[in-house]
Amino acid sequence: MRNLRMTKQPAKKTEITEEVPEQTPPKKEEDKSALLQALLSEEDDFYAFTLVGDIEEKSCNEVVSTLISMHHTIEKKMEARLEEQIIEKTAEMQDEAEEEGVQIVIEQEPPPDIKMYISTSGGAADDMFAMYDVMKWVQRSVDISTIGIGKVMSAGVPLLAAGTKGKRYLAENARVMIHNASAGAVGIIPTMEEEINEFKNIQDMYIRLLSENTNMSEKKIRSMLKKKANIYLSAKQAVELGIADHIL
């Protein structure tokens, strides 16, 4: 930060006038992304939070509680605004409505989006499923815009893809990775067999979520996972597969 100092200059006996050339405003960066401008635009209601780090119980608690709190706040504000609009509109049209039976129509603005910034290497599947379910519940009335930055891997990919269609973004240099679920089991054979079956179930759920929210079929995802242990994707490749919609 620069420190600017203003000093008082001694008065001069003569006045010298000089024409100052008109300064043209600096040109905006031509490659400035309109999508980025929209995300960073000033809004009366700005709802954004981050999921940065491993997906586990602590981060799950933070994400779930934040989503529920923001969703509740938005719904209450929208209800208050609607009541205010009704009162104002009724007052404006009261006489006309009473005399002619005019129906009052209120056009309410859509609720503001919740913006969820994601950068994670993945983590626990159960905690990811909890976040996913709450996201889908909130999306019944409020759109969630997901923005992938840095790395979006493993359990983080279904969360990025779970954002509202058309509002899922990836930073230009973000990396995406999907892979097979991994786990371990110890104990007697019946116990290990039960754990292996549950492990397969989690893998199936992971694939189903990806298929439901992307352009990839379950068959294609299974085929991809058989060929490589870890499938790394650029932002462009992830958009082509329908994991995200736009590159920032």
Name the DSSP class of 55.
B
Task: Please list the alpha-helical segments (H only) found in the chain.
Answer: 34-40, 57-100, 125-138, 156-161, 189-213, 218-227, 235-240
Alpha-carbon gap, residue 143 to 141, rounded angstroms: 7
CA distances from 66 to 52, 60, 110, 132, 163 (A): 14, 10, 20, 13, 15
Is 71 part of the annotated catalytic residue set?
A: no
Query: Which candidate in 179, 182, 211, 223 is catalytic?
Result: 179
Catalytic-role residue among 119, 154, 211, 246: 154
In degrees, to the nearest 5, what angle opens at C-alpha 229 toward C-alphas 204 and 146? 65
Cα separations in angstroms, 76 against 69, 70, 83, 113, 116: 11, 10, 11, 14, 20
Q: Reduced to 3 states, what is the DSSP secondary structure of residue 235? A: helix
Does 145 qualify as catalytic in the annotation?
Answer: no
Q: What is the dihedral of CA 237, 127, 225, 212, to 10 degrees?
A: -60
Residues labelled as active-site residues: 154, 179
